[in-house]
Amino acid sequence: MRIGSNLRTEKDRAVLRIRAKVLSASREWFDQHGYVEVHGPTIIPVVGDCSSFFEIKYFNSKAFLTQGLQPYAHYFVSSLEKIYTIAPTFRAEKVNTRRHLTEYWRIEVAQNCEFDTIVKVEEALLAYICQSLSKENVELFSCFKRSVKDLSKIQTPFPKLTYDDAVDMLQRDGFNIVWGQKLSWELEHHLSLQFNSPFFIAKFPLGVETFFHKSDPDRSELTLSADLLAPEGYGELGSSAQRITEKKVMSKKMTEENIDPADKNWYLNFMQSRAFPHSGFAIGLERLMQWICKLSNIKEATAFPRLHDCIYP
Amino acid sequence: MRIGSNLRTEKDRAVLRIRAKVLSASREWFDQHGYVEVHGPTIIPVVGDCSSFFEIKYFNSKAFLTQGLQPYAHYFVSSLEKIYTIAPTFRAEKVNTRRHLTEYWRIEVAQNCEFDTIVKVEEALLAYICQSLSKENVELFSCFKRSVKDLSKIQTPFPKLTYDDAVDMLQRDGFNIVWGQKLSWELEHHLSLQFNSPFFIAKFPLGVETFFHKSDPDRSELTLSADLLAPEGYGELGSSAQRITEKKVMSKKMTEENIDPADKNWYLNFMQSRAFPHSGFAIGLERLMQWICKLSNIKEATAFPRLHDCIYP
């Protein structure tokens, strides 16, 4: 049993201090740009495939632990226009890598805008966080292989690939991938090694993304979605998308995905039919910390990491 | 099924905006006073009575949802001295009142200090929040029976009763209470009606409090603990205490409380034996909002309230 090992060394303390600074820089940026902080529910019902959700005994019924603001985001956006939340997120996945926690914190944004805008918001926020950290005392980073100078170089606009570009690059470099396939960790990792700035992969094919994402009006086989990746081999930090706002389109998608009619019914009742566009993104705080501090294992990015095989201490 | 009703009216929006301002005022105060933001785990093992905890299916074992930073707080304090967290909290209690949610957010503080200091920190934070809100645009409060002038009057020091005083007052007012009994909601409510400022009830008897709390060195039948109550009948907002830091004392208390030996063992292994005093408090965000906005039901203090009989939408 690992006993509180993440709080003993100077490095452990530095991680926690940098983590707090990432949070305060984020909130500073949100304040400056008129975003309102909100809290969605942690305990939720799940629509569709619930295999990656943790199940809770909720008195005589069952409930699940959240994986993000969907489908609550559009309610907040319709009331407050631009919102963010910083909250814990849960994935019941038995993955044994150096980049998976079962409990992590996400920085999530939703607002009344089109896809192109949300990508710009995401990169502006991340660049601001890096610029803020670069002004910190050099000593704070002395335990890590990251220098404040590296962080000062992170500026917008970030490089942008399409999913098509990514598949081309990977095929050219000898990887066995066909169009329409999900990008595995190994493929992402290879792409990530080609960059020294965070970058985007945009417009994933329909099958790869969830039913919340709007189709690209120019090419209906694509979605208005993008993953944000860290450079230097660290891979995915977050993802963004424009959401479907038309009930008819959502209803059709849910039928295609074989969503249970009762689930579909409450979801569509809950969904507002509003004409305004609505987009959002989420960045994983521990993944961001892992890249910023060049941590070899994501466990080091939080004081009491939760892994599929351990909930202690 | 209630469909997103908390985000439709001007009042709903005002609650969310004030909630965001309470959060930012809190963080402003924490920044000014050198507190570092941390995140404890949400998924935890439970030591002792777990009947009020939500249980999670955690792969092949079981785990629970957190009710606060204990027992992790002392690790953070030993590394960072003064810390705070703002995070969701869960109680599996079937209570049907206007002041209980199964999921709520707590503002929690822990630091290297004695009991008297933590009470001063708690009142200073709350007074700062009220003062900050009192400088807001009057219109923000136009939907509520609360005026910014009321809030401007909230200043430290807050009135302080001891548990002994509280029992005397209640007996004098004709309530049937004997020393050593827990203060029920009705009794708290009565006391709360006597004040027009938040106030403390300090030094509860041993049996009323959890095994984490240190005994009063002057009167060993009391604990170094205090509840913070809102005035005007709103009742408990939060609680504070000095924690036990000696392993021997904790071990004895755990035996008295019939804690399972395996649980006791990991807990004591995990516990650091450090000589420094360590105290903390937690304030329920929704309870605070209920008082600040004079909301008749705590459900109105959050966008998607979770109640024991409903997890929708």
Range of the domain at B65: 5-301
B14-33 burial, b for 16+ CB within 10 Å, e for fewer? bbbbbbbbbbbbbbebbeee
Cα–Cα dist A51/A43, whole Å: 16
pTM for this prediction: 0.96
Examine residue A313 and state whether it is found in any structural domain, yes or no.
no
Q: What does the pLDDT read at residue A15?
A: 96
CATH number at residue A257: 3.30.930.10
Contact between A203 and A165 (Cβ < 8 Å): no
Examine residue A307 and state whether it is found in any structural domain, yes or no.
no
Residue B1 has pLDDT above 80, yes or no: no
If you average pLDDT over residues A122-133, what whole number do you get? Answer: 98
Q: Over pLDDT 70: what percentage of chain A?
A: 96
Examine residue A309 and state whether it is found in any structural domain, yes or no.
no
Cα–Cα dist B161/B219, whole Å: 16
Q: How many residues does chain B have?
A: 313
Which chain A residues are closer than 8 Å to B36 by Cβ? 16-17, 20
**What is the sign of the dihedral through the CA atoms of B18, B20, B26 and B31?**
negative
User: Which residue of chain B has the CA closest to A7?
Assistant: B79
- The distance of A163 to chain B (nearest Cα, Å) reads 34
Could A27 and B27 be called an inter-chain contact, meaning their C-beta atoms sit closer than 8 Å? yes
pLDDT digits over A167-176, tens only?
Answer: 999 999 999 9
User: Which residue of chain A has the CA closest to B22?
Assistant: A37
Which chain B residues are closer than 8 Å to A24 by Cβ? 27, 31, 37
Examine residue B312 and state whether it is found in any structural domain, yes or no.
no
The closest of B286, B310, B288 to B300, measured between CA atoms, is B286
User: Which residue of chain B has the CA closest to A267?
Assistant: B313
pLDDT digits over B191-244, tens only?
Answer: 999 999 999 999 999 888 667 899 999 999 999 999 999 999 999 999 999 999
Low-confidence winner among B84-88, B160-164, B267-271 (lowest mean pLDDT): B267-271
Structure tokens at B70: 């204990």
Could B54 and A55 be called an inter-chain contact, meaning their C-beta atoms sit closer than 8 Å? no
Residue A6 has pLDDT above 70, yes or no: no
Q: Is the ipTM of this complex over 0.90?
A: yes
Which chain A residues are closer than 8 Å to B71 by Cβ? 313
Based on the structure, what is the number of domains in chain B? 1
Could A79 and B41 be called an inter-chain contact, meaning their C-beta atoms sit closer than 8 Å? no
User: Which residue of chain B has the CA closest to A106?
Assistant: B39
Could A37 and B23 be called an inter-chain contact, meaning their C-beta atoms sit closer than 8 Å? yes
Examine residue B157 and state whether it is found in any structural domain, yes or no.
yes
User: Which residue of chain A has the CA closest to B84?
Assistant: A20
> In angstroms, what is the C-alpha Rg of chain A?
20
From the list A56, A87, A105, which residue is nearest B56 (CB)? A56
From the list A7, A56, A105, which residue is nearest B75 (CB)? A7
Examine residue B247 and state whether it is found in any structural domain, yes or no.
yes
- The distance of A313 to chain B (nearest Cα, Å) reads 7
Could B42 and A76 be called an inter-chain contact, meaning their C-beta atoms sit closer than 8 Å? no
Examine residue B309 and state whether it is found in any structural domain, yes or no.
no
Q: What does the pLDDT read at residue A207?
A: 82
Examine residue B310 and state whether it is found in any structural domain, yes or no.
no
pLDDT digits over B9-50, tens only?
Answer: 899 999 999 999 999 999 999 999 999 999 999 999 987 888
- The distance of A165 to chain B (nearest Cα, Å) reads 38
Cα–Cα dist B228/A173, whole Å: 64
pLDDT digits over B169-180, tens only?
Answer: 999 999 999 999
Tell me the CB-side half-sphere exposure of residue B78, using CA atoms within 13 A: 20
